[in-house]
Amino acid sequence: MIWNISWKNVWRNKSRSMIVICAVTLGTISGVFVAGLMNGWVDQRIHSAIYTEVSHIKIQNPDYLINEEIKHTIRNYAEIESFLNQSEEVKSWTKHTKIVAMGSTSRGNTAITLKGIDPLEEKKVSDIYTYIVNGGGNYFESDFKNPIVISEKTADQLRLINYTISDKLIDTLAQLGGKSELIEKLGALKDKRFITEKKFKSELKKVLTPKENKTYGATIMREAKNYKLRSKIVFTFSGLKGEMSYQSYRVCGIYKTSNTLFDQMNAFVKQEDIADVAGLLPGNYHEVNIILNDETEDLKTLYDKLKSRFNQASVLSWKELVPDAGMMADFMTVYYYIIMGIIFFALAFGIINTMLMSVLERIKELGMLMAIGMNKKRVFRMIMLETIFLTLVGSLAGMVLGATLIGIFGKIGLNFASVQEGFEAVGWAAKVYPNINPGFFFGVIVMVIIIAILSSIIPARKALKLNPVEAIRTE
Rounded Cα–Cα distance for residues 254 and 269 (Å): 12
Residue 170, CA distances (Å) to 27, 133, 221 in order: 46, 21, 12
pLDDT tens, N- to C-terminus, the chain (475 residues): 677 777 776 777 778 778 888 888 998 899 889 888 888 888 888 889 899 999 999 999 999 888 888 989 998 899 999 999 999 999 999 999 999 999 999 888 999 999 999 999 999 999 999 999 988 999 999 888 899 999 999 999 999 998 888 878 878 887 777 777 777 888 778 778 888 888 888 888 888 888 878 888 878 888 888 899 999 999 999 877 778 888 999 999 999 998 888 999 999 999 989 888 888 888 899 999 999 998 878 889 999 999 999 988 999 999 888 887 777 777 777 888 888 888 888 888 888 887 777 776 666 666 666 666 666 677 777 778 888 888 888 889 999 999 999 999 989 888 877 676 777 766 777 788 898 888 888 888 888 888 888 888 887 777 766 655 555 655 5
Predicted TM-score of the model (pTM):
0.81
Distance of CA 149 to the CA centre of its chain: 25
Are 84 and 285 a contacting pair, CB within 8 Å? no
* Residue 55 contacts residue 315 (beta carbons within 8 Å): no
Is the distance from CB of 397 to CB of 448 less than 8 angstroms?
no
Residues 94, 118: contact at Cβ < 8 Å?
yes
Whether 288 and 94 have beta carbons less than 8 Å apart is answered as: yes
